[in-house]
């Protein structure tokens, strides 16, 4: 951020009548002159020859130059070169007296070499411009922080959507199309795993710079998180030009990226393309179309691009329908939780209990046991803000149920899964703290489960969020360790307490000896780090035996205890079910739960 130095220049500057005011015979004018001298806003008059003719002392305090220095040359002498043309265009195109002020921003150089952003409000009266100017450097810096990715400095999702809305609106007066290209780097995770997150971050910055070089000034390159980038291109001829741009993206990423002392690496990518000719297109829908096309490219092996077509449009329509029904389900309290205990493999009372969301539609759209499983509706929710709303509901229900159990003498942590968006886009720690306070729970009553994939969307922000949560006393579990998307190494610098072996891994214990040996070493590493290791998905006695042989002391799975309603779950050894009332819907006021 630019310097905020306010060093006062030397007192050699020439005073004006405004500095001291007038004599007592002009009290009104003297007060105005005094106000002119002491106000912190910048005030100025400018001649039609583009020179300052009068400046108040605030200019000296803000920029470090004396008023004589500022008045000695044209007004653009200290102006940023990129801002000169647009500033002079305003001053030269307005003729005669102007009742409504003209507004614009530009940058002026401080004596220390930094730049200050100034917001001008100017009005012309015959041969003089009158200007009131505010320093908006800090405000613009904060706005930029909110609209840009902190690692690459590219626009984030919020700014991308705003620019997309503007680009689509301009189709009213254009014969071209707007295109979105969704770019996902293939096997970027291997760079993080093998070379570390610092090298991975360096590569992401290099990718962002190379994509920016490829674009026109009118295009936007944004980073959504992790290794996902989006290009917004407007005023292009059609699908053919959009696909040609996608091919150039693939080619440019394949050129090796130098990574300092590390060996150079080329990046393959999967690219999804969506185009629109209609100014009424919703930018969020367009992004989702490009995202679906990208997934089709990735599922076809990667290093390719796909155009969103009618088949994908039908899939998107299904997602939209599910999303609409989910919104109603939230209002109608159709989402509920089943609970699956986490149990010692040698027997004994539960050491934890995972909350698993289920959807019980009030109509006839249920599975055989009456509930829809997450795989049938969460993918649609993850493409919208619904995943956050569902996450809020699940967190609240789980905390409320944990409080019920504690009142019955069962003080075990309840585990809740956290999505990537909840982890990186919200103030997760504050939300967790509010629920703990409301439900009168200590931090140790809750465990948050995150997947490595969610962490890798934005590792720095994820680590910071989880560290803040852990300071509340809440445990952190790494979920799905050993899945196809997961590495064999633990993510660095994560504040972990628990590692949960993926159910797919547990299912291969018996048939894949090499894989079992590799994970035996990983389990030993986790236990050496003081972490609890949980084998998830134990469904046979053979899997139970092998989990014990791998030195897992805790497990979860249908063989031990299936997911069930809170009043039927068994959490005490040989004590039967916990006879306590299940959670009931609470009234939501302003986004918070109230009894």
What are 231-259's pLDDT values in tens digits? 999 989 889 999 999 999 999 999 999 87
Task: For CATH 3.30.70.270, list the domain ranges present in the chain.
Answer: 148-308
Q: CATH classification of 148-308, choosing from 3.40.50.970, 3.10.450.100, 3.40.50.11900, 3.30.70.270?
A: 3.30.70.270
Within 488-563, where are the H helices? 503-507, 513-528, 541-549
576 has pLDDT over 50: no
**Which residues neighbour 345 within 8 Å (Cβ) at sequence distance 6 or greater?**
535, 544, 547, 548, 552, 553, 554, 555
**DSSP line for 393-433:** HHHHHHHHHHHHHHHTT---PEEEE--HHHHHHS-HHHHHH
Convert the pLDDT of each residue in 177-195 to its tens digit: 999 999 999 888 778 777 8
Element housing 80 (H / E):
none
Convert the pLDDT of each residue in 522-537 to its tens digit: 788 788 888 999 999 9
For position 467, what pLDDT does the model report?
A: 94
Task: For CATH 3.30.450.20, list the domain ranges present in the chain.
Answer: 17-140
Q: Could you tell me what percent of the chain has a pLDDT over 90?
A: 42
For position 562, what pLDDT does the model report?
A: 92
Q: Could you tell me what percent of the chain has a pLDDT over 70?
A: 85
Convert the pLDDT of each residue in 265-283 to its tens digit: 888 999 999 999 999 999 9
Q: Per-residue confidence at 454, pLDDT binned at 50, 70, 90?
A: confident
Classified as helix, coil or strand, 568 is coil
Task: For CATH 3.20.20.450, list the domain ranges present in the chain.
Answer: 319-569
Distance CA 38, CA 34 (A): 6
Q: What is the mean pLDDT of residues 140-159?
A: 82
Convert the pLDDT of each residue in 345-392 to its tens digit: 988 889 999 999 999 887 655 444 457 887 778 777 776 678 889 999
Residue 533: how many CB atoms within 10 A of its CB? 23
For position 91, what pLDDT does the model report?
A: 85
Query: Higher model confidence: residue 318 or residue 215?
Result: 215
Q: Per-residue confidence at 509, pLDDT binned at 50, 70, 90?
A: low
Q: What is the mean pLDDT of residues 156-170?
A: 91
Q: Per-residue confidence at 593, pLDDT binned at 50, 70, 90?
A: very low
Single out the residue of 434, 376, 468 nearest to residue 588, CA to CA.
434
Q: What is the mean pLDDT of residues 202-218?
A: 91
For position 14, what pLDDT does the model report?
A: 44
Convert the pLDDT of each residue in 91-110 to its tens digit: 887 665 566 788 888 999 99
Q: What is the mean pLDDT of residues 188-204?
A: 84
Classified as helix, coil or strand, 264 is strand
Single out the residue of 133, 172, 162, 306 nearest to residue 232, CA to CA.
162
Q: What is the mean pLDDT of residues 561-575?
A: 79
Fold of the 17-140 domain? Beta-Lactamase (3.30.450)
DSSP 1: -
Q: Per-residue confidence at 343, pLDDT binned at 50, 70, 90?
A: very high
Q: Per-residue confidence at 574, pLDDT binned at 50, 70, 90?
A: very low
Q: What is the mean pLDDT of residues 70-79?
A: 93
**Domain 319-569, architecture per CATH:** Alpha-Beta Barrel (3.20)
Q: What is the mean pLDDT of residues 133-142?
A: 82
Q: φ and ψ at 336, to 5 degrees?
A: -140, 175
């Amino acid at each position: 951020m630019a310097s905020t130095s306010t060093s006062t220049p030397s007192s050699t500057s020439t005073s004006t009548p405004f500095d001291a005011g007038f004599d007592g015979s002009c009290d009104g004018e003297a007060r105005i002159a005094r106000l002119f001298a002491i106000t912190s806003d910048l005030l100025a008059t400018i001649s039609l020859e583009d020179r300052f003719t009068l400046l108040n002392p605030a200019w000296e305090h803000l920029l470090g130059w004396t008023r004589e220095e500022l008045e000695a040359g044209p007004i653009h002498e200290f102006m940023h070169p990129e801002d000169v043309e647009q500033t002079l265009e305003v001053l030269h195109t307005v003729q005669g007296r102007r009742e409504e002020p003209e507004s614009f921003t530009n940058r002026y150089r401080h004596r220390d070499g930094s730049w200050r952003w100034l917001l001008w409000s100017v009005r012309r009266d015959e041969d003089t411009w009158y200007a009131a100017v505010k320093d908006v450097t800090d405000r613009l810096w904060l706005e930029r922080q909110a609209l840009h990715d902190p690692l690459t400095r590219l626009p984030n999702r919020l700014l991308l959507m705003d620019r997309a809305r503007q680009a689509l609106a301009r189709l009213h007066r254009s014969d071209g199309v707007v295109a979105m290209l969704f770019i996902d780097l293939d096997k970027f995770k291997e760079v993080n795993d093998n070379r570390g997150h610092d090298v991975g971050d360096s590569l992401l910055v290099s990718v962002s710079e190379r994509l920016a070089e490829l674009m026109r000034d009118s295009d936007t390159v944004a980073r959504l998180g992790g290794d996902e980038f989006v290009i917004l291109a407007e005023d292009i001829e059609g699908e053919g030009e959009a696909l040609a741009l996608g091919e150039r993206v693939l080619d440019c990423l394949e050129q090796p990226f130098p990574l300092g002392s590390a060996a150079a690496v080329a990046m393959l990518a999967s690219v999804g393309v969506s185009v629109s000719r209609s100014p009424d297109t919703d930018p969020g829908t367009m992004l989702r179309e490009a995202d679906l096309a990208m997934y089709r490219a990735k599922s076809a092996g990667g290093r390719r691009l796909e155009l969103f077509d009618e088949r994908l449009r039908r899939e998107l329509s299904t997602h939209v329908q599910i999303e609409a029904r989910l919104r109603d389900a939230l209002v109608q309290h159709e989402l509920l939780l089943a609970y699956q205990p986490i149990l010692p493999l040698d027997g004994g009372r539960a050491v934890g209990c995972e909350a698993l969301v289920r959807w019980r539609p009030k109509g006839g759209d249920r599975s055989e046991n009456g509930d829809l499983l997450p795989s049938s509706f969460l993918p649609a929710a993850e493409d919208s803000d619904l995943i956050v709303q569902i996450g809020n509901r699940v967190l609240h229900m789980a905390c409320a149920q944990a409080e019920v159990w504690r009142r019955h003498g069962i003080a075990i942590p309840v585990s809740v899964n956290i999505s990537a968006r909840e982890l990186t886009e919200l103030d997760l720690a504050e939300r967790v703290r509010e629920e703990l306070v409301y439900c009168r729970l200590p931090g140790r009553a809750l465990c948050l489960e995150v997947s490595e994939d969610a962490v890798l969307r934005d590792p720095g922000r994820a680590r910071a969020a989880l560290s803040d949560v852990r300071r509340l006393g809440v445990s952190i579990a790494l979920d799905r360790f050993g899945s196809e998307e997961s590495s064999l190494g633990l993510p660095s610098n994560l504040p972990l307490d628990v590692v949960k072996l993926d159910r797919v891994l547990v299912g291969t214990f018996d048939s894949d000896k090499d894989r079992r040996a590799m994970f035996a070493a990983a389990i030993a590493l986790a236990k050496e780090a003081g972490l609890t290791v949980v084998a998830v998905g134990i469904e046979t006695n053979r899997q139970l035996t092998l989990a014990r042989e791998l030195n897992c002391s805790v497990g979860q799975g249908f063989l031990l205890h299936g997911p069930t309603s809170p009043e039927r779950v068994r959490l005490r050894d040989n004590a039967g079910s916990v006879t306590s009332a299940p959670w009931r819907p609470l009234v939501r006021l302003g986004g918070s739960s109230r009894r």
